[in-house]
Structure 1
């Protein structure tokens, strides 16, 4: 038989356990409610999906500006002579057909003489042919005489055409030989001055004219960087003259030889040059976004919350349900964070007001 006192103590224990159990369930419910947000709040937030991406690394290199070889012409003299007048200076903008310099040249006088003589020979040969044709019709000249007259006339005409072509290539203005620009562009190299003697057999050009509407960036890559750079990698370029302006392009060629002097391999980037801001031989800072071949989950770096030397994101579990998820960042490239631990592709993370949610959830 149980005493009355024992029964009372037993009932009190059950009641106490019941209260404790109810309090525990109420705390769990409160905690669950604490980790939930309303549909309207969730709908007002930006939610990004974690992507599986090839991780990239940013390689910082140096380079220099070079003219586009397809839009650059080196001008050599076709004749020897003395520079009578040089009309342009280094850096000048020139137009196609513009006279750059004039030479006094004895060769030009010889070309003019040859043209005059060949034209006179052609006229004389024509008269001889006409006379031979009349004699042939009268029976006073043979078929052989007629054929020879025709051949002499054809040779005279051909020589006149050759002399005319030579003179047209070596343009003159009556005062001398004209050196003209073959395209619109800028004088980026000049090796002639007034009264300077010029020889046609000299291997040094008089001028170099380049169209700078597009230019090359020649990038210096050390051996440790070669394996990480490929054709097609996007590139961002800045110059000392314009530190706030970013020029963009892609690697379009790799030169598979090392420079014997500085032990670097060159990569080439072709970029547009609006306003001709970039000049040949300018120094350039180059940042290449190179693929690493490692697939890692990727998110927008702005979605990351940094707290107490650790990184977190707010993960959306389901409808109006979120939680704090610690993550480890393998690397950041521009505004992309590559995650080594804590997230999987396909998961969803809050990308706006995440700091507000983080502070509310961690309390």
Structure 2
């Protein structure tokens, strides 16, 4: 009897174990067969996102340079003294506006007295030689003088005439007043941008330094510093936009009209020149300038706005929207940055569409 009860209990226990195992296996199988849902970008979400189209850089690209404003050398005159002497009153200061012919200063010079003496002597000799020629012509007509005498009188007259012309030219160049003081006058209208003389200063012609520099500032030059890496991108005729610290909200337009094909060995820059109209004289020589040049690019790379990038694990990614409205992660390699633009060397082509908003959230969701 006891054996029967024991067998019955064993059978009941085995059935219970089988039931539990079956139930456990059934739950495990259900979890395995259940598929994990994959994140997808719905059409409703796409309508809320910004999408940029990848473009290709044209033959022009923006290059930022530094430079300096200086006077137009074709409209700038350095004034040197042609005589030595003592400077009179110098009332003109650097930065003053002057008119053509305006007196800048005078020089008390003994050389002017010598020029005046030569002029007076030549005038006297010219009058005497003219009278001698008239007498020789009358004597020749009456037969009292020979042809040789007449030719000699003509020669003396021509010599006196040439000397008078020379002395007049000298006096014209070395203009003086009634007191025989040498006058320095402005040769053009403009501004005095350099002054190297003071009242009662001794001036010598062998000094080699100009006393004044007068410049017409209605046009000025902007001298650009082109770094070696940008030399190939910039050509004569490129459009230029210039701003200064004094006028940060104002742009001055021009074009590069000359490139100095010499590289500065110390600064590793090449110079270029831009002529700028300056009718209101806002630009002053010596001002520093920020210059944007629409230069030429040697390559044609696709570019997008930098906001489209996702940086992860030292790599750059974008989210590409294909023709079927599917979004995928695309790794890209950057060629260079320029302000808010990034040029892509690998990973994108012109015409590709990339997500430009909430891209970090989408990247993490698609990645996981």
Question: TM over 0.5: same fold?
Answer: yes
Query: Are the structure 2 counterparts of residues 202 and 166 from structure 1 closer, same or farther at C-alpha, using a change threshold of 3 Å?
Result: same
Query: Are the structure 2 counterparts of residues 190 and 215 from structure 1 closer, same or farther at C-alpha, using a change threshold of 3 Å?
Result: same
Q: Which residue of 2 aligns with 1:4?
A: none
Deviations 1:300-335 (A, max 9, x none): x8xx997999989999x9xxxxx8999999889799
8 Å contact from structure 2 (residues 80, 209) kept in 1: yes
1:147 and 2:151 aligned = yes
Q: Which residue of 1 aligns with 2:224?
A: 219
1:104 and 2:100 aligned = no
- Rounded to whole Å, the distance in 2 between the matches of 1:295 and 1:337 is 13
Q: Which residue of 2 aligns with 1:161?
A: 165
SS at match of 2:280: helix
- Rounded to whole Å, the distance in 2 between the matches of 1:125 and 1:210 is 46
Q: Which residue of 1 aligns with 2:253?
A: 248
- Rounded to whole Å, the distance in 2 between the matches of 1:282 and 1:260 is 24
- Rounded to whole Å, the distance in 1 between the matches of 2:177 and 2:273 is 42
1:122 and 2:126 aligned = yes
SS at match of 2:140: helix
Deviations 1:247-280 (A, max 9, x none): 1222222222222443322122221123111111
1:174 and 2:178 aligned = yes
- Rounded to whole Å, the distance in 2 between the matches of 1:342 and 1:260 is 39
SS at match of 2:286: coil
Deviations 1:145-172 (A, max 9, x none): 1110111111111111111111111111
Q: Which residue of 2 aligns with 1:259?
A: 264
Query: How far apart are 1:50 and its partner, in Å?
Result: 9.9
SS at match of 2:298: strand
SS at match of 1:245: coil
Query: How far apart are 1:119 and its partner, in Å?
Result: 0.8
Q: Which residue of 2 aligns with 1:81?
A: 85
Query: How far apart are 1:51 and its partner, in Å?
Result: 8.3
Q: Which runs of 5+ in 2 are unaligned?
A: 1-41, 47-52, 312-316, 358-368
SS at match of 1:266: strand
The structure 1 residue matched to 2:295, chosen from 290, 295, 298, is 290
Q: Which residue of 2 aligns with 1:232?
A: 237
Query: How far apart are 1:128 and its partner, in Å?
Result: 0.9
Q: Which residue of 2 aligns with 1:3?
A: none
SS at match of 1:128: helix
8 Å contact from structure 1 (residues 234, 248) kept in 2: yes
Query: Are the structure 2 counterparts of residues 342 and 260 from structure 1 closer, same or farther at C-alpha, using a change threshold of 3 Å?
Result: closer
Query: Are the structure 2 counterparts of residues 109 and 155 from structure 1 closer, same or farther at C-alpha, using a change threshold of 3 Å?
Result: same
TM-score (norm 1): 0.69
Instruction: Give the total of aligned pairs.
Output: 300
TM-score (norm 2): 0.69
- Rounded to whole Å, the distance in 2 between the matches of 1:189 and 1:325 is 66
SS at match of 1:54: coil
Query: How far apart are 1:83 and its partner, in Å?
Result: 0.5
| Alpha-carbon RMSD | 3.8
Query: Are the structure 2 counterparts of residues 293 and 172 from structure 1 closer, same or farther at C-alpha, using a change threshold of 3 Å?
Result: same
Query: How far apart are 1:74 and its partner, in Å?
Result: 0.7
Deviates more, 1:210-219 or 1:185-194: 210-219
Query: Are the structure 2 counterparts of residues 256 and 152 from structure 1 closer, same or farther at C-alpha, using a change threshold of 3 Å?
Result: same
8 Å contact from structure 1 (residues 305, 313) kept in 2: no
Q: Which residue of 2 aligns with 1:207?
A: 212
Query: How far apart are 1:112 and its partner, in Å?
Result: 1.1
Deviations 1:97-138 (A, max 9, x none): 111111111111111111111111111111111111122122
8 Å contact from structure 2 (residues 106, 183) kept in 1: yes
Query: Are the structure 2 counterparts of residues 98 and 239 from structure 1 closer, same or farther at C-alpha, using a change threshold of 3 Å?
Result: same
8 Å contact from structure 1 (residues 56, 333) kept in 2: no
Deviations 1:77-113 (A, max 9, x none): 1111110122311001111111111111111111111
